[in-house]
Amino acid sequence: MTEQSDINDTLDTSGLYCPEPIMMMHNRVRDMAPGQVLEIIATDPATTRDVPKFCTFLGHELIGQSEEDGTWRYYIRLASDQ
């Protein structure tokens, strides 16, 4: 699991449904530097499919994920060539 100190930014998309969490992620990573870690908090079950695809498509690394009581957390290390 990712240490709290490794996280550079957090995006809370709780209560939002597809496609909003992915659109917000796309906008947020534009403002971040390569190699930084973004934590995403989501309540939409579709993110279990969408976040890994987002990472694969854009070359980011999904370095961790967890689920507790209907809330998912994802940790993404941004690609060096975004």
- Full pLDDT tens readout for the chain, 82 residues: 566 679 999 999 999 999 999 999 999 999 999 999 999 999 999 999 999 999 999 999 999 999 999 999 999 999 987 5
pLDDT of residue 3: 64
Measured in degrees and rounded to the nearest 5, phi and psi for residue 5 equal -70, -15
pLDDT of residue 15: 98
Q: Kindly list the structural domains of the chain, giving each domain's residue range(s) and its CATH number in brackets, ordered by start.
A: 4-77 (3.30.110.40)
pLDDT of residue 80: 87
Instruction: For 24-78, give the DSSP string.
Output: HHHHHHHTS-TT-EEEEEE--TTHHHHHHHHHHHHT-EEEEEEEETTEEEEEEEP
pTM summary value: 0.91
Q: Report the distance separating Cα 20 and Cα 54, nearest Å.
A: 13
Catalytic residues: 18
